[in-house]
Amino acid sequence: MEKLDRFDIAILKILQHDNFTPQRDIGQKIGLSAAAVQRRVKRMKAEGVIQRNVSVINREKIGRPITLFVEVIMESEKAEFIDSTKAIFRTTPEVQQCYYVTGDADFMLIIVVPTMHDYELLTRRIFFGNNYIKHFRTMVAMDLVKVGLDVSLDAIVL
Amino acid sequence: MEKLDRFDIAILKILQHDNFTPQRDIGQKIGLSAAAVQRRVKRMKAEGVIQRNVSVINREKIGRPITLFVEVIMESEKAEFIDSTKAIFRTTPEVQQCYYVTGDADFMLIIVVPTMHDYELLTRRIFFGNNYIKHFRTMVAMDLVKVGLDVSLDAIVL
DNA sequence: ATAAAAGTGAAACAAAATTGCACAAAAGCC
DNA sequence: GGCTTTTGTGCAATTTTGTTTCACTTTTAT
């Protein structure tokens, strides 16, 4: 865990909202020179605090309007089965997010597809074709109330 | 839904992976001038195809190592209750993602916190304090197998 | 108290994005 | 078909942004 001061936090807050914000503007907003901002951003990238920089694409505007949640329950928790199943989910483009969890389910997936028919085909491919999967439970997203990868930076202990 | 040609798709693929890729490089890779790339990106931003541009912050490096899934079941589906509950989730920083879903649950939440203790305090604040919530079911993420907001662009019909 | 290390602002510099312009290809329109 | 309009392109000039340099200040450790 890296040590970050209030300037770093302030920079991260801005960047996780809009990473095209000019460093001059950031500097002005938080009371630092552009060069200082530049160095801090560079450092945080190198440290891995800033993991990556991405554009978020509107799934509806490109014909992928269906978002689904899938809870997957495995037949067994054997590491071998778990790992191979992780690999499948990781490499399936329609699987936007995949988490290995404790609790009632083993995996939680978020899947984005053009139509329910595509989802049906997908289930045949990745669920019914996998003998380690006992069963799965699907929920359809009706409203994407809040979508992002933002991390709360408000109450960071300095 | 906007109409996108193969160049647009190629640009989006690159940008949703790394939006700091120089437009010259993009142009070279897909066979277009930097200016053409620039105009297409500008257009797609204006159209909302590119929704936003963000830095992804490593939750562990800033002291937020706990990721949780929460299924929320409501007492009633009255629009009034649903809407006010949406508003709470939307404005709670620890709630990274919130989806209103059909199926066994009403809401699916992804929550990111420093410790389980913080989660306990959060549940008191946003779940136990809300009379419309019948109950909730928590799953703890052990492995973030795949985390992102990428949309599959492979089989786009042109 | 002093030396080393780390961080800073201002200015010079380099690299990228953006704009203007002339031209070519595709889309309506008689 | 021929014509115009629209849309998109590449190249070059311009502007903006990011990066490096350097002298100076603050902090840290001895």
What 3-state class would DSSP assign to A82?
A: helix
- Which residues in chain A come in under a pLDDT of 50? 157-158
Q: Would you give the DSSP letter of residue B30? A: H
pLDDT value of residue B158: 43
**With bands split at pLDDT 50, 70 and 90, how would you rate the model's confidence at B102?**
very high
Per residue in B28-80, pLDDT (tens digit) is 999 999 999 999 999 999 999 999 999 999 999 999 999 999 999 999 989 99
The shortest C-alpha distance from B9 to chain A (Å) reads 9
What 3-state class would DSSP assign to A99?
A: strand
Q: What is the average pLDDT across B99-126?
A: 96
Q: Where are the domains of chain A?
A: 6-47, 66-140
**With bands split at pLDDT 50, 70 and 90, how would you rate the model's confidence at B154?**
confident
Identify nearest nucleotide to residue A43 by CA to C1′ distance. Answer: C7
pLDDT value of residue A46: 93
- List beta partners, residue A34: none
CB contact under 8 A, A103 and B144: no
pLDDT value of residue A3: 79
Residue–nucleotide distance: A2 CA to D25 C1' (Å): 25
Domain A6-47: give its CATH code: 1.10.10.10
| Second CATH level (architecture) for the domain A66-140 | 2-Layer Sandwich (3.30)
Q: Is residue B157 pLDDT above 60, yes or no?
A: no
Q: Which residues contact B67 (CB under 8 A, 6 or more apart)?
A: A99, B59, B110, B111, B112, B140, B141, B144
Closest partner residue to A54 among B1, B18, B61, by Cβ? B18
- List beta partners, residue A100: A107, B143
CB contact under 8 A, B140 and A103: yes
Q: Which residues contact A80 (CB under 8 A, 6 or more apart)?
A: none
> Cα separation of A42 and A49, whole Å?
10
**Token representation of residue B108:** 């699916």
